[in-house]
Homo-oligomer: A and B are copies of this chain.
Amino acid sequence: MDSIAQNLLNLGLELPKAPNPLGNFAPYLVDGEYLYISGQISIGADGKVVSGKLGQDLGIEQGIEAARFCAIGILARAKAAIGDLEKIERLIKLGAFVNASPGFTDHPKVVNGASDLMVQVFGAERANHVRFAVGSSSLPSNAAVEIEAVFRIRSDG
C-alpha cells in the first residue's frame, strides 16, 4: 500500500464522491504538470453545506472543521481527476476564503484545518504549500469556508 492510501486509512478518512460544482465550470482541471481544483466550499460528511460566519455564528473549532471539510472535498476532486493521489508530486497552493464577520481576525487558525490535513495526508515535504487566507463577507450557500488548490503532478504519472 502506498503512503497516501496508508495515511488516509490511519486518519480513518474515506474520501466522498467528488462534490459537483455549483455553476457552469469544471470541478478540476489538469493542465500539463498542474492539477487545479475549483473553489471548494465546506460540505460535511452528510453531504450538507457547513454554513455560517466565523465571529458571528461559528466558533474557531467549527471553522477549523469546515476548512478540513474543504480539504477533504479537494482530495476527492483530485482523486476523481487523476485516479491515484500518489501521482501528486506536491501541493503548491491553497487559496482560502473564510466567511467572517468584520471583527474576525483568526483566519489562519481556521484555514490550518485544511493545511494540517494536507500535511497528514501527503507528509510535511509534499504538503509544504503557499497560501492566502482572507475574510469574505459572504460565500456561496453561506458556506463557512471556500478553498481553491493547485497541485503539481508527476509528468510520468
Measured CB to CB, the residues of A under 8 A from B are 21-29, 31, 36-39, 53, 55, 90, 92-95, 97-98, 100-109, 111-112, 115-116, 119, 128-142, 146, 148, 152
Partner of A29, one of B55, B109, B129: B129
Inter-subunit contact A107/B31 (CB<8 Å): no
Copies of this chain per assembly: 3
> Could you tell me the distance between the alpha carbons of A119 and B111 in the complex, rounded to whole angstroms?
32
Contacts A112-B24, A140-B107 given; does A39 touch B148 at CB 8 Å: no
> Could you tell me the distance between the alpha carbons of A112 and B25 in the complex, rounded to whole angstroms?
8
Could you list some 10 contacts between A and B, CB below 8 A? Answer: A23-B111, A25-B115, A29-B128, A29-B129, A36-B93, A100-B137, A105-B139, A130-B148, A132-B146, A133-B140
Inter-subunit contact A130/B23 (CB<8 Å): no
